[in-house]
Amino acid sequence: MEAGTDSHYMQMALELAARARGRTSPNPLVGAVIVKEGQVIGKGFHAKAGGAHAEVVALMEAGEQARDATLYVTLEPCCHYGRTGPCTEAVIKAGIKRVVAAMTDPNPLVAGKGLEVLKKAGVEVKAGVLEQEAMHLNEAFIKYITTKRPFVILKSATSLDGKIATAGGESQWITGKAAREQGHWLRDRVDAILVGVNTILADDPSLTTRLPEGRGKDPVRIVVDSLARTPTAAKVLLQESAAHTMIATTEAAPVERRASLMAAGAEVLVVPGPGPRVDLVKLMELLGEKQITQILIEGGGKLNGSALAAGIVDKVVWFIAPKIIGGDSAPGAIRGDGVQALKDATQLYDVSVQCLEGDFAFTGYTSKRGERISLLE
C-alpha cells in the first residue's frame, strides 16, 4: 500500500490491533494510528479488557500534537461508559480534525452512534477503509456481540484418509511439529477449549498452551460429560494454570459425582435439556452468558459430529498429514449419523490452504461471507 494513503495507515492500525490476539475478550481487537502532516505521531492498541482503549493510548503518545491530526482506528470509537470512558470524548477534547474508521461497531450500544457524535462535534468522519480486513480480525467479537453466543472453531488433525488414530488407538503424532505448534497458537487465541469426556478417558490430555519459550495463554478447559465420568485425577483438573476447568453435564449426572468434581476444583455446569447428551446449543448460550466469546473444539469424532449436527460450528481448521492409516476400526474425525444426501453435507466457504512442513492446514467457514456480514445489519 502506498505510504500516506488512508489504506496504508489503516493497515498499520490493523497490525497493531492484532498484537493483542487472545487477550482482549470480551472486548474487540482495536488498533489506532494518529497522523499529522504525513508523520505518525501516536499509535496504540487495546491490550486487555479493562485497559485503556487504542484511541486513548495513541492520543497519550501524540500529546498536544494531536490537535488537527487524523486518527485512524480499526473500529468506530465508543460513545458509552463501560469500564472506561467514551473514546469519542477523548478524541474531541484532543482536537482531532479527522477520524477514519475501518468499520462501525456491531455493539448495539454504539452501532454508528460514535461516528455521529464525532460528526456533530465538527470532526470529519470516514468509514469503511479496509472494512473486510477489520471484520475478519474481529470475527469472534462480531458473532458474540450480535448473538450473545461464542464463535466456535472446530479443529481436527487427521491422516489423508480422515483417521484421528490407528486401529490400535495410537494418535501421537499424526501431524508434525509445525502443525502441532499452529494448534497451540489457536489455543492461545481463544477463551476456551472444548473436548468430550471420551477424549479425557482415552488420552488424559492437559489441554494447556505450550508455545516456544514457555509462551502462551491457557484457555478455559471445558469437558462435555453428560454423566460426570471425568476422573478427579484427570490432568485437566490438576493443572497449575490461570485458567480453570468446567465440566458441562446434565441432570442425569449423579449428584455425588458432581460434588466430587467440584471438590477437585472444577466448575460444574448443569446444562438444561431433554438428554441424554449435553445440549450443545444450550451450552453455547450458557457460555456466552459467562462472556466466553471464542471456543476451540478439539474433540474426538463423536463430539465433532454432534457439534456439526447442532449447527454451532462457525469455522473449521483441519490439519491433514500425507499419511494413509486405513482400517475399518481406526476412528475417524466425524462420527454420528452423518447425512443421507450430499446436498446436506457441511460446505466450507472462503477456504484457504497452508503448507506446514509437509502437512496441510485447511481453513474455512460454515457460512458464506455475506451471511457472516449480515450480522452487522
State how far the Cα of 279 lies from the Cα of 318, in Å rounded to an integer.
24
Q: What value does the mean pLDDT take over residues 92-106?
A: 95
Q: What value does the mean pLDDT take over residues 10-21?
A: 97
* Sequence-distant (≥ 6) Cβ neighbours of residue 245 within 8 angstroms: 220, 221, 222, 223, 236, 237, 239, 265, 266, 267
Higher pLDDT, 100 or 172: 100
Task: For Cα atoms 231, 331, 234, give the angle at the middle one, nearest 5 degrees.
Answer: 15
pLDDT confidence tier of residue 78, bands split at 50, 70 and 90:
confident
pLDDT for 329 equals 93
Q: What value does the mean pLDDT take over residues 139-146?
A: 95
Q: What value does the mean pLDDT take over residues 10-15?
A: 98
pLDDT for 375 equals 57
Q: Is position 183 annotated in a ligand binding site? A: no
Q: Is position 19 annotated in a ligand binding site? A: no
pLDDT for 371 equals 72
pLDDT for 343 equals 92
Q: Look at residue 232 and tell me whether its pLDDT is greater than 90.
A: yes
Q: Is position 237 annotated in a ligand binding site? A: no
And the C-alpha cell for 349?
466457504
Domain 1-138 and domain 148-374 have a common topology = no
DSSP-based three-state secondary structure for 233: coil
Contact 69, 96 (CB under 8 A): yes
Give the E-state strand segments of the chain in sequence order.
31-36, 39-45, 70-73, 98-101, 124-127, 151-159, 192-196, 220-224, 245-249, 267-270, 294-297, 315-321, 349-356, 359-365
Q: String of b and e for 18-34 (b: at least 16 CB within 10 Å)?
A: eebebbbbbbbbbbbbb
Q: Look at residue 95 and tell me whether its pLDDT is greater than 60.
A: yes
DSSP-based three-state secondary structure for 114: helix
pLDDT confidence tier of residue 219, bands split at 50, 70 and 90:
very high
pLDDT confidence tier of residue 82, bands split at 50, 70 and 90:
low
CATH topology of domain 1-138: Cytidine Deaminase; domain 2 (3.40.140)
Q: Is position 303 annotated in a ligand binding site? A: yes
Query: 151-165 pLDDT, tens per residue?
Result: 999 999 999 999 999
Q: Is position 367 annotated in a ligand binding site? A: no
**CATH of the domain spanning 148-374, picked from 3.40.50.150, 3.30.1130.10, 3.40.50.720, 3.40.430.10:** 3.40.430.10
Q: Is position 311 annotated in a ligand binding site? A: no
Q: What value does the mean pLDDT take over residues 279-283?
A: 97
Q: Rounded mean pLDDT of the chain? A: 93
Q: Is position 25 annotated in a ligand binding site? A: no
Does the annotation mark 55 as catalytic?
A: yes
Structural domain boundaries in the chain: 1-138, 148-374
Q: Look at residue 112 and tell me whether its pLDDT is greater than 90.
A: no
Report pTM.
Answer: 0.93
Higher pLDDT, 240 or 372: 240
Query: 300-338 pLDDT, tens per residue?
Result: 999 999 999 999 999 999 999 999 999 999 999 999 999
pLDDT for 214 equals 79
State how far the Cα of 46 lies from the Cα of 86, in Å rounded to an integer.
14
Q: How distant is the alpha carbon of residue 241 from its chain centre?
A: 20
pLDDT confidence tier of residue 83, bands split at 50, 70 and 90:
low
DSSP-based three-state secondary structure for 262: helix
And the C-alpha cell for 113?
452512534
Q: Which of 55, 89, 256, 357 is catalytic?
A: 55
pLDDT for 158 equals 96
Query: 177-195 pLDDT, tens per residue?
Result: 999 999 999 999 999 999 9
Q: Is position 22 annotated in a ligand binding site? A: no
Q: What value does the mean pLDDT take over residues 201-225?
A: 92
pLDDT for 173 equals 87
